[in-house]
Amino acid sequence: MSGLPDIQIGPFKRAQGSIVLPGSKSISNRALLLAALSTGTTTLRNLLDADDTQVMRNALRQLGLSVTDQANHVCVVEGCGGQFPVRQADLFMGNAGTAIRPLTAALAMQGGNYRLSGVARMHERPIRDLVDGLRQVGAKIDYELQEGYPPIQISAADIHIKDVVKVRGDVSSQFLTALLMALPLVAQDPVRIEVVGELISRPYIDITLKLMARFGVNVACPDAQSFVIPAKTSNAVYGSPGQLSVEGDASSASYFLALGAIGGGPVRVLGVGNDSIQGDVAFADALALMGANISAGEDWIEVTGVKNANGKLNGITIDCTEIPDAAMTLAVAALFAEGPTRLNNIASWRVKETDRIAAMAKELRKVGAIVEEGVDYIVVNAPASSSHWQSPSEGIDTYDDHRMAMCFSLAAFGPGALKINDPNCVAKTFPTYFAEFAKVVN
């Protein structure tokens, strides 16, 4: 999404203040769909108001549901008891993976005819593993253009679950999330889902399971690769909890926590903390490994500079399987570290809003970093000295990827000003990011 002109920021020396985080995208879109599928009325508080959640809300409205936005990030959803009123629709899903994947699975259970499409990049993001899983239970789903990718056409079909449902877990955890949320709608008997291969981003599955439990469906986990969905006890599977408050977005917190380390702090984020159900709060642990001073409470985290006498972070090697989104922030924080920073197990970056490994490597090199990239890793060495830093006249490209724009705002703490191209791509998850950023830097 574009609209705002390119912006020039920095150079900055200090970061200090506090930020109230927008609602978590991952929780918001899961909660919207679960509220829609449940019986009763659900009031969602602190719901993220951004492109990705608007995509989900608009799709639910097209499907015949009452989804009412109120003041102060409150949204009221009238549930449909598991059966969408509209049985034929053409839904535009933008580039929202957290919307198209779970909604595809839920629609496949409806016995209707639906088409789902998105922006050009969405048509390059894989959905085959989810479709394969749904076809195992009788769903009829066809690819419109390229095999394995949207747009897709869902046709009415009889769903019968006879055997264990298997799904790959090494491309995106959203495929498993989608099956977990949808299969309870048709589970006449207990349903076992088995993950084939490695399950990446397990903390996102934990978010799914905890939210499903809030809506009355408790999934058993007999081992790390298996999930057992209980049999239906009534036609309406999910029941509304009445109200649900959405945590602040832990991925968005990572930029401000990094600012607290790079810019001296203290910088405090409000809305996530020790009680968070989001895996990306572990970013604070990674930042601590780099030498940052971290403190936290139930719903806040604060960073005050670094422990090292030279005021710099130190490079680390870290497995990023469980923090794939927040790990991007580590790559840019590495510009302010002594020694190399190696981020391992980030293959999922390549199938996100852009190929994030390639994009990150290219843009880091623009500012003077020495970068090595592989299929599933990246190694970042900071510019050797201030004279090696560069302020590229062509600016930092953001690839219509919100996280590229937000991550590279940190590079404005280098010795020169920095131009960010197409900053409005942050509207996907954090429309006010640069305004909030400006409040804590100088």
Catalytic residue numbers read 325
Q: What's the token pair of residue 16?
A: 């200090």
Q: Rg (Cα) of the chain, in Å, rounded? A: 22
What does the DSSP assignment read for 6-45? PEEE-----EEEEEEPPBPHHHHHHHHHHHHHSBSEEEEE
The phi, psi pair for 52, rounded to 5°, reads: -65, -40
Q: Residues 341, 379: contact at Cβ < 8 Å?
A: yes
What distance in Å separates the CA atoms of residue 383 and residue 424, rounded to the nearest whole number? 28
Q: Rounded to 10 degrees, what is the CA torsion of 400, 402, 404, 405?
A: 100
What distance in Å separates the CA atoms of residue 298 and residue 281, rounded to the nearest whole number? 12
Of 387, 377, 395, nearest to 415 by C-alpha is: 387
Q: What's the token pair of residue 51?
A: 């492109």
What distance in Å separates the CA atoms of residue 155 and residue 165, rounded to the nearest whole number? 20
Amino acid at 264: G
Q: Would you say how long the chain is, in residues?
A: 442
Q: Residues 84, 37: contact at Cβ < 8 Å?
A: no
Residue 137's contacts (CB-CB under 8 Å, 6 or more residues apart) are 159, 160, 161, 165, 183, 186
Q: Residues 144, 116: contact at Cβ < 8 Å?
A: no
Q: Are strands 264-270 and 15-20 parallel, antiparallel or unpaired?
A: parallel
Of 281, 287, 297, nearest to 262 by C-alpha is: 287
Amino acid at 371: V
Residue carrying structure tokens 């794939």:
324
Of 144, 146, 212, 203, nearest to 178 by C-alpha is: 212
The DSSP 8-state label assigned to residue 344 in this structure reads E
Q: Residues 243, 41: contact at Cβ < 8 Å?
A: no
